[in-house]
Amino acid sequence: MTISEVENTSLIKKACSDPGAFAQLYLMHYDNVFHYCMRRLFNRHSAEDVASTVFFKVMHNLGSFDGTVIDFRSWLLRIATNAVNDHLRDAKRRTDVIHRVVTNTRTQSVFVIGCNEKLLEKKALLKQALLSLKPKYQTVITLRFFENMKLTEIAACLGKNPSTVRSWLSRATAKLRKKLDVAVNSGGSKL
């Protein structure tokens, strides 16, 4: 481990009993957790709700974390993944999410900086296609293409074998591509 990693590992331990250290740890990771939730849920309010849930879970379970800072990101993303999947598991909520996506696809958020109409349309298509996949496929797509994690890192994060993750990723990318192709060719009306 580097000196910085050692210091951060020490911070994690300290954060178990020191609110100030926990606040520092929280600020170091808030953006990453929010981004992950945002890319999974495509909705700011849902992402903020789930990010809140994630950090409360982290606070209550930090004592059980006994790894290093290198493992901490995986641990954090595993908690975030479970929280996002819990959020999506409710069928009604999932329907609502997709409904909001469909009815709100071209609304530009005030928090999105410097983007054009074409990218917003692509984003709308991606939202619809991705949210129609099973949560586990959404998870591996997000971890692979937005978090830029390697197969082994995703496997460690999800507690699965790399071969399982490879299989999920293969199916997920094939399904997503098929859906995106259809959507692109139909202008987004067939998903």
HSE at residue 57, side-chain half, CA atoms within 13 A, is 17
SS3 191: coil
Using CB under 8 A as the binding criterion, the count of chain residues that bind another protein stands at 49
DSSP string for 8-36: HHHHHHHTTT-HHHHHHHHHHHHHHHHHH
Amino acid at 172: A
Q: Binding another protein by CB under 8 A: which of 7, 30, 95, 190?
A: 30
Nearer to another protein, 91 or 110 (CB): 110
HSE at residue 117, side-chain half, CA atoms within 13 A, is 0
Residue 52 in contact with another protein, rule: CB under 8 A: yes
Nearer to another protein, 44 or 78 (CB): 44
Query: Residues 6 or more apart from 55 whose CB is under 8 A from it?
Result: 26, 30, 33
d(CA 109, CA 48): 14
Residue 191 in contact with another protein, rule: CB under 8 A: no
Q: Are 110 and 169 in contact (CB under 8 A)?
A: no
Question: What are 19's two structure tokens?
Answer: 């609110």
Nearer to another protein, 92 or 118 (CB): 118
Q: Binding another protein by CB under 8 A: which of 11, 13, 98, 164?
A: 13
Q: Binding another protein by CB under 8 A: which of 75, 84, 176, 188?
A: 176
Binding mask 82-121 for another protein (x = CB under 8 A): ---------------------------x-xxxxx---xx-
CB of 149 to another protein, least distance (A): 13
Q: Binding another protein by CB under 8 A: which of 6, 99, 134, 146?
A: 146
Residue 23 in contact with another protein, rule: CB under 8 A: yes
Long-range contacts of 181-185 (CB under 8 A, 24+ apart): 183/125, 183/128, 183/129, 184/125
Site residues (vs another protein, CB under 8 A): 13-14, 16-19, 22-23, 26-27, 30-31, 34-35, 38-39, 44, 47-48, 51-52, 55-56, 59-60, 63-64, 109, 111-115, 119-120, 122-123, 126, 141, 144-146, 169-170, 173-174, 176-177, 180
